[in-house]
Amino acid sequence: MNRVVDSRSRPLRDLRISVTDRCNFRCTYCMPKEIFGRDFAFLPRAQLLTFEEITRLSRAFAREGVSKIRLTGGEPLLRRDLDRLVAMLAEIDEITDVALTTNGSALAARAQKLKAAGLSRMTVSLDALDDVTFAAMNEVAFPVERVLAGIDAAAAAGLTPIKINMVVKRGVNDRSVVEMAEHFRGSGHILRFIEYMDVGTTNGWRMDDTVPAAEIAAAINARWQLEPLEANYPGEVATRYRYRDGAGEIGIIASVTQPFCGACTRARLSADGRLYTCLFAAGGHDLRGLIRGDASDEQLATKIRSIWTSRADRYSELRHARTEPRPKIEMSYIGG
């Protein structure tokens, strides 16, 4: 296996694969319903990568250093028979970890199959514990208890520890931070708070809506004392803390106030086969055309290597120095 590095000496280690651009939620920070309404044109099925194409591309990425794959969306569990793709990816020798990020809406019925197929880990997005606040974030009337049931099913299937992602938006769900911490303390799951970010161009992001990581940590520490933990591995995006009373740990992802571009090892593959080298990228590189144009495995790997070695992305580090907005791909298209 090669270990290709970019222009800032960052290795290619993680691949995030969006398997669909569709979602059954309309979260305000990702797919606001005023943009992604009933008439929105999602990708036709023929434009989506097949499971076989995803697996072949994943093998090419593995040749260049990728060892961890995360399946995302949209909502990945809207893709039929996703456990079959998990099984195909788990068979790639160089891939040591296959994970999934989901909104949890369809998880209860599918967790066991995903685990049996070889899924290593699970992350569930949950932005509040009461239905009113939850609906204010996702703009659909989906009961919180059904997401919690999905988390319980994933735990019962052995997909532990489960990570719970909460995007914190000021004036909407910031008052739920301590409540969420209390609920998941002692559960064995890892709650991670995410600063509201300017992903894409449709979520109406303003800095005033972002609750800084320091404020989140202070609110929890005022109730239960925290102490910092070392990162599990180089490039981990969450700053880790543990409760001093032994009730587990939390993480805070601070892309806005504490950028971590310098250690980013993530590539992103869209559902229609475009490679993006940053969550905030303006454009991607077409790999579907290569794979459907009979490119060899070596040609695929060479293309990936060429794209990564020229990578110089550091959007979050430059965010506050920018004087005018720039176009960015929507997060629902390439996954978070």
Domains and CATH numbers, the chain: 14-334 (3.20.20.70)
Distance CA 47, CA 89 (A): 21
pLDDT at position 308, please? 96
194 against 198, higher pLDDT: 194
pLDDT tops 70 at residue 333 = no
The share of the chain scoring above pLDDT 90, in percent, equals: 76
Mean pLDDT of 167-171: 94
Angle at the Cα of 192 from the Cα atoms of 189 and 197, rounded to 5 degrees: 155
pLDDT at position 202, please? 58
Read off the pLDDT of residues 93-152 as tens digits, 9 standing for 90 and up.
999 999 999 999 999 999 999 999 999 999 999 999 999 999 999 999 899 999 999 999
Say if CB 90 and CB 59 are below 8 A apart. Answer: no
Pair of tokens at residue 30: 């990702």
Read off the pLDDT of residues 202-255 as tens digits, 9 standing for 90 and up.
556 677 889 999 999 999 999 999 999 999 988 788 999 999 999 999 999 998
Whether this prediction's pTM lies above 0.85 is answered by: yes
Mean pLDDT of 28-46: 88
pLDDT at position 205, please? 66
Confidence of residue 34 (pLDDT cuts 50, 70, 90): confident
pLDDT at position 336, please? 64
Pair of tokens at residue 95: 């891939």
Amino acid type, 2: N
Place of tokens 């794209």: 307
Say if CB 29 and CB 167 are below 8 A apart. Answer: yes
Pair of tokens at residue 259: 């950028």
